[in-house]
Amino acid sequence: MYQFQLNYARQFGDHNVTAMGLAKREEYAKGSMFKNFREDWVFRGTYDYKTKYLFEVNGAYNGSEQFGPGYRFDFFPSVGLGWVISNESFFKAGVFDHFKLRYSVGKVGDDNISGARWLYASQLAFGGQARLGEQTNGTSPYSFYRESVVGNPDIHWETALKANYGIELGFWQNALNVNIDIYNEERTDILMTGAQRNVPPFFGATPPSANLGRVKSKGFEIEVNFNKQLNAFWRLWGNASFSRNTNKIIFRDDAPLLYDYQKQAGYPIGQTRSQISAGFYNNWDEVYASVPTENNDLQKLPGYYNLVDFNGDGVIKADDSAPVGYSGIPQNTGTFTLGADLKGLSFSVQFYGVANVNRVIPFNNYLNNTDILFGHARDYWSKDNPNASSFLPRWKTPGENAGNYFVYDASFLRLRNAEIAYSFDRSEHLKKKNISNMRIFLNGTNLFFWSKLPDDREGTYDGGGATTGAYPTMRRINLGIDFSF
Amino acid sequence: MNFYKSLRSKACIGALLALTVPLNSCEDYLDKAPQADITEKDAFGNFLSFQGFVEEMYNCIMDPNKGGAWNAYLFADETLNNYPYAFDQGNYWGNSGYFFGQTVNTRDNNSRTKRIWEYAWYALRKANLALEKIDEPDLFEGTEEEKNHIKGQAHFFRGWFYFELCRYWGGMPYIDKVLTPTEEMTTEEFKRLTFQETAIKMAQDFRAAADLLPNHWDLSGPGQRTQGHNRDRFNKFHALGYMGKALLYAASPMINEEAKGSNTFDPELAKQAAEAFGELLTLADQTGIYSLQSWDNWTDNFWRWNNERPGGTECIMVPVIFDRGRVRWSTVGATVPSSFAMNSGTNADVPAHSFTKNYGMANGLPLDDPESGYNPNDPWAGRDPRFYRDIAVDGDKIHSAAGPDQFAQLYNGGYHRTTINPPSVTGYYAKRYSPIGPDWSNSRADGLQAYVPYLRLADIYLMYAEAVNFSTGGGPKAKSSNYSLTAEEALNKVRNRAQLPDISTKYTASKEIFFEELIRERAVELAFEGARFCDLRRWNLNGDPRFLDKTAIDFDRGPDGKPVNIRERVIITRTAEKKHNWLPIQVNFTRMFKDFPQNPGW
């Protein structure tokens, strides 16, 4: 890697000016990979007048090896404006003593797509042999050549245009701060991998990545900080924040013949979809009167869920899977922290919560013909228990028609941390022993969890299955002493 | 301060210099690392490299019964398990470790990552690429014979992978060029064809392959480099055999009904099929390259001990052996008694009693023939010799070691019927690929090699008989224009090898009666080979009431060891309607454009 950087900073009376320019070429490689190349030209200029009016402009001219000739470089500018109203002479500072407005708008680029390289170029690869030989473990002397990548000559930068509005308020010499940020973003030319595209199977290769997606998102964040020494003994501090993020897919190369409710366009990224249940079949009459299912219709029993024929075609099948609830990423998140110090004694709690989120956790009874039942089956349907919360478990029979049973409201509130501690830092006795501080504490993480989820996992990876994914969150309680020398 | 200043001015100059560099060079800087490229000349320049390009397609061939730790690969009326099969319930969506759901990886030497759908489309593109590059000017340098080997294999692969796709999912657009990534592919040009239309195109590819490929690679110039190791490389026999097979499928009632509305064999296509088989059989007689295995080593078609390769002189095409260790796990694991401690204890795939009734008597007559001599109270006496090689029954010695596993205890309440988990649910075990018997031991089983053949000569004889029977002017006594055997004689070839007498004249009285015996003969000779599911569907007989019930045999063991109190019990009645002619295509592929629709009824 090498780079040139140019810095400039100067004050002309009330005018402050800075400028920076940077040109960079970067190469890196790890393991046996071919070197990655990147070239960036970046500049920034800032100006402010009496720290009242702030102005900033950035530009980046980025080049990426991902794209073909003619598409490698693109220009990504941004502009920022600020007005510190509380520095104006007409602003009468009282209890309310800090007031600033911010606005920025900019364009950013992305060239990264799941580790793939040289998206524009088709590539051949070498290696491997067929298992052809008279011995049952023999191999052929001929080594494979294969078309490893089919490139897209037209691929180019993904861009996002993002605008941000900010308000900063301060009270009592910043003992109380309130920050509000509102943003909206539009991503265009989103790089989509070939597997996500509407390319028929007979293409015969992983289709090349292409600039196809378009997503709009918006959100806001409010943060309130409080920190005040009340008197010689007491200090109180706290922090609360709340953010909300929503997005909507505008275009995602959906298959044109999909039902609109099964297209990604028009819905948030990761929208949960499921067949929908409308209560149990409580008796054979209801079973016979129900809409037939495409598969396992003869396996239906009272005690299963009557599914909704969402598209009204008279058959329950995959087409009846419709948007349900939210995605797996919470729309609303919030934290709340409160602390107090009284001389050496300190106390704090931190809460964390999310809302507007769903997760699918299919705890299927007797999965793979094992004799495992999950906790939800305790209150199972029976003739005498028609208002059960769970359906009838069945051994070695398919077609339980669970509908959206396993779509859980994944909102939760968690007491993430709590601590009580005492510091002996003022003790003369310790100082004599060269101990500058001794602190005794009792704290815990993940002490309480309120949710409708069947288990305490903040997320799952690997497709989010019930049997895969993240380890459940641990509850931990510590009692300890810290010494500082 | 001075130092800082000078540094800054140098940086300025540097930046200015950099600014004056034309943009071109910036783009060049970002050009791909030159070592990263393999050129077309590297890959297609000569036979050595081009054959390597072609051979990747051999590693796209599915090994039907090794797609998982164990996987179902028989989808008709042959076997049952201790849990219901989705296909028996009419749910053809599942992939069963066989049809789809894997990413193509041809280099992992693992049969469990292979599936038909993904690998076929991958290989088809590759076959088209090979056919495009072999004729590109100034690219390939080699002899005409080398060129023909490459082209012949590519034509064969194109036909063959289409056959694999279409025999399950029905007709497909026949792509015969390399599609470019910027091409519009959701147009009428790429509409799905009927199976019959697709099969005619396959037949053209197989014809081209037959004309280009040698009789055997061991006898050709380019094959000398791999002398003695050419059994799996495609030759004229492969091409003729599959040409006939594709045409016979195309002629079959269900497929003819789909294409032309007539639930009968198409006599013209049947005739073309018969001629393809006739050409193959003539060539086999002339060259002696392929011949039926003798009865004594009939089972070599299916399995051998000591890691020896099965197939003998009869198998024309068998699956590529990705990892010979899979036999012991994937093939054997779920088909021997679970008490043998050779499987995970979750599967026991065993023959349905109803299916074993296809095995006639040693006198060659079917069980329901009044003269057959079949005694329902002594059902396992005097049967077709293949019954005893294929099916283990109560009292058979099935293990060499002393203990409860030494003899099959398959009566109700018996060890293998009730005690072990999972048990045999029908009262039988299948031995075609898991030869349990007096010499079975688990250590021997470790060296067992067992593969489900794709194409063998017995199948060719039977398909020849069927094609001749339904040709224009055909029948049991007819023959094709290019081969000496009549349909009846071709059937007898296979029967005689199994120690059965010639077919009785009462079964050669008409095409229809003869066909019934052909259906039964294919069920027995090709039992557990995966032929049945395709045969029943193409004949429009998948939903025939005779083939719907899958049954178990309940009985007690009498004092002389013979079964008593025999009852036949239906375990499941298969669901097979019109829509089960074809498997459903994964839904996402059917929503891409209107000319690539889902199969009817799904």
pLDDT digits (tens, 9 = 90+) for B250-308: 999 999 999 999 999 999 999 999 999 999 999 999 999 999 999 999 999 999 999 99
Q: Strand pairing of B549-557 and A210-229?
A: unpaired
Residues A457 and A472: beta-carbon distance below 8 Å: yes
pLDDT exceeds cutoff 50 at B148: yes
10 Å CB burial of residue A153 (0-12, 13-18, 19+) is: middle
Would you state the pLDDT for residue A121? 83
The span from the CA of B333 to the CA of B555, in Å, is: 26
Q: What are phi and psi of B19, to 5 degrees?
A: -65, -30
Question: With b meaning 16 or more CB within 10 Å and e meaning fewer, what string describes A438-450?
Answer: bbeeebbbbeebe
If you search the block for the tokens 């990892």, which residue do you land on? B323
Give, for B536, the enclosing helix (H) or strand (E). Answer: helix B531-538
Mean pLDDT score across all residues of chain B: 93
Q: Where are the alpha helices (DSSP H) in B299-382?
A: 326, 353-356
Q: What are phi and psi of B227, to 5 degrees?
A: -45, 130
Q: Any bridge partners for residue A428, and if so which?
A: none
pLDDT digits (tens, 9 = 90+) for A69-86: 888 889 999 999 999 999
Give, for B127, the enclosing helix (H) or strand (E). Answer: helix B116-134
B124/A201 touch (CB, cutoff 8 Å), yes or no = no
Total count of domains within chain B: 1
> Using H for helix, E for strand and C for coil, what is the string for B414-426?
CHHHHHCCCCCCC
User: Domain A2-262 is in which class?
Assistant: mainly beta
Q: Which domain holds residue B210?
A: 39-62+98-236
Q: What are phi and psi of A18, to 5 degrees?
A: -135, 155
Would you state the pLDDT for residue A113? 72
Residues B398 and B337: beta-carbon distance below 8 Å: yes
> Which chain A residues in 298-337 lie under 8 Å from chain B, judged by CB atoms?
298-299, 318-319
Residue A186: name the closest of A232, A248, A243 by CA.
A248
A137/B307 touch (CB, cutoff 8 Å), yes or no = yes
Would you state the pLDDT for residue B32? 66
Q: Strand pairing of A143-149 and A210-229?
A: unpaired
Report the pLDDT averaged over residues B535-540: 98
Contacts of B173 in chain A (CB under 8 A): 202
Q: Which of A39, A123, A136 sits opposite B29 (nearest CB)?
A: A39
pLDDT exceeds cutoff 60 at A451: yes
Query: Which of B9, B32, B95, B318 to probe by mutation at the A interface, max A CB count within 10 Å?
Result: B32
Residue B364: both structure tokens together: 């060659």
Contacts of A298 in chain B (CB under 8 A): 89, 575
Would you state the pLDDT for residue B34? 54
Residues A89 and A178: beta-carbon distance below 8 Å: no
Least confident range of A128-132, A259-263, A433-437, B56-60: A433-437
Residues B315 and B453: beta-carbon distance below 8 Å: yes
pLDDT digits (tens, 9 = 90+) for B354-396: 999 999 999 999 999 999 999 999 999 999 999 999 999 999 9
> Which chain A residues in 146-165 lie under 8 Å from chain B, judged by CB atoms?
146-147, 150-154
Q: What are phi and psi of A380, to 5 degrees?
A: -90, 160
Residue B251: both structure tokens together: 């002629």
Q: Any bridge partners for residue A465, and if so which?
A: none
Would you state the pLDDT for residue B12? 38
Contacts of B588 in chain A (CB under 8 A): 255
Report the pLDDT averaged over residues A343-348: 90
pLDDT exceeds cutoff 50 at B170: yes
pLDDT band at A159 (very low <50, low <70, confident <90, very high): very high
Alpha carbon of A216: minimum distance to chain B alpha carbons (Å)? 25
Residue of A nearest to B172 (CA): A202
pLDDT band at A63 (very low <50, low <70, confident <90, very high): confident
Residues B375 and B361: beta-carbon distance below 8 Å: no
> Using H for helix, E for strand and C for coil, what is the string for B542-574?
CCCHHHCEEEEEEEEECCCCCEEEEEEEEEEEC
Cis peptide before B422 (omega within 30 of 0): yes
Helices (H) and strands (E) in chain A, counts: 2, 23
pLDDT exceeds cutoff 80 at A49: yes
Would you state the pLDDT for residue A459? 60
B84/A396 touch (CB, cutoff 8 Å), yes or no = yes
The span from the CA of B68 to the CA of B64, in Å, is: 10
Mean pLDDT score across all residues of chain A: 88
What 3-state DSSP class applies to B387? helix
**Residue B17 Ramachandran class (φ > 0 left, ψ -120 to 50 alpha, else beta):** alpha
Would you state the pLDDT for residue B7? 39
A145/B307 touch (CB, cutoff 8 Å), yes or no = no
pLDDT band at B24 (very low <50, low <70, confident <90, very high): very low
Cα angle B415-B421-B422, degrees, rounded to a multiple of 5? 105
Strands (E), A411-473: 412-423, 437-451
pLDDT exceeds cutoff 70 at A57: yes
Report the pLDDT averaged over residues A390-406: 81
CB-defined contacts A:B, below 8 A? 217
Residue B552: both structure tokens together: 């178990």
pLDDT band at A120 (very low <50, low <70, confident <90, very high): confident
B320/A5 touch (CB, cutoff 8 Å), yes or no = no
Would you state the pLDDT for residue B23? 44
Give the percent of chain A with pLDDT over 90: 53
Q: Which of A23, A144, A146 sits opposite B18 (nearest CB)?
A: A23
pLDDT exceeds cutoff 90 at B69: no
**Position B108 in a domain:** yes
Cα A485 from chain centroid (whole Å): 42
Query: Domain holding B140: CATH number?
Result: 1.25.40.390
Neighbours of B447 (CB within 10 A): 15
Contacts of A276 (CB under 8 A, 6+ apart): A307, A308, A310, A320, A322, A324, A403, A404
What 3-state DSSP class applies to A392? coil
pLDDT exceeds cutoff 80 at A111: yes
pLDDT exceeds cutoff 70 at A469: no
Residues A90 and A102: beta-carbon distance below 8 Å: no
The secondary structure of A272-321 as a DSSP string is -EE--EEEE--SHHHHHHSPPBSS-GGG--BTBEEEP-TT-SSSBSGGG-
Sketch the domain layout of chain A as residue ranges.
Answer: 2-262, 273-484
Report the pLDDT averaged over residues B42-48: 95
**A387 CB within 8 Å of a chain B CB:** no
Would you state the pLDDT for residue B333? 87
The span from the CA of A227 to the CA of A174, in Å, is: 8
**Rounded to whole angstroms, what are the CA distances from B150 to A235, B39, B128, B146, B222?**
84, 19, 12, 6, 10
The span from the CA of A428 to the CA of B32, in Å, is: 69
Give, for B236, the enclosing helix (H) or strand (E). Answer: helix B236-251
**Position B400 in a domain:** no
Contacts of A4 in chain B (CB under 8 A): 11, 14-15, 18
Residue B467: name the closest of B251, B282, B322 by CA.
B251
B511-525 and B457-469 helices cross at what angle (nearest 10)?
Answer: 170
The span from the CA of A454 to the CA of A361, in Å, is: 8
Residue A446: name the closest of A423, A426, A473, A421 by CA.
A473
Give the percent of chain B with pLDDT over 70: 95
Neighbours of B35 (CB within 10 A): 8
pLDDT exceeds cutoff 80 at A33: no
Give, for B5, the enclosing helix (H) or strand (E). Answer: helix B2-20
The span from the CA of A462 to the CA of A473, in Å, is: 17
Would you state the pLDDT for residue A484? 80
Q: Which of A5, A131, A203 sits opposite B322 (nearest CB)?
A: A131
Q: For residues B179, B180, B182 and B186, what is the CA-based torsion angle, rounded to 10 degrees?
A: 0
**Position B213 in a domain:** yes
Give, for B15, the enclosing helix (H) or strand (E). Answer: helix B2-20
**Position B187 in a domain:** yes
Give, for A191, the enclosing helix (H) or strand (E). Answer: strand A176-192
Report the pLDDT averaged over residues A206-210: 88
Least confident range of B77-91, B159-173, B213-227: B77-91
HSE at residue A474, side-chain half, CA atoms within 13 A, is 4
Cα angle A103-A105-A109, degrees, rounded to a multiple of 5? 150
- ipTM given for this complex: 0.88
Would you state the pLDDT for residue A437? 80
B11/A37 touch (CB, cutoff 8 Å), yes or no = no
Would you state the pLDDT for residue B455? 98
Report the pLDDT averaged over residues B89-95: 86
Q: For residues A319, A325, A328 and A334, what is the CA-based torsion angle, rounded to 10 degrees?
A: 170
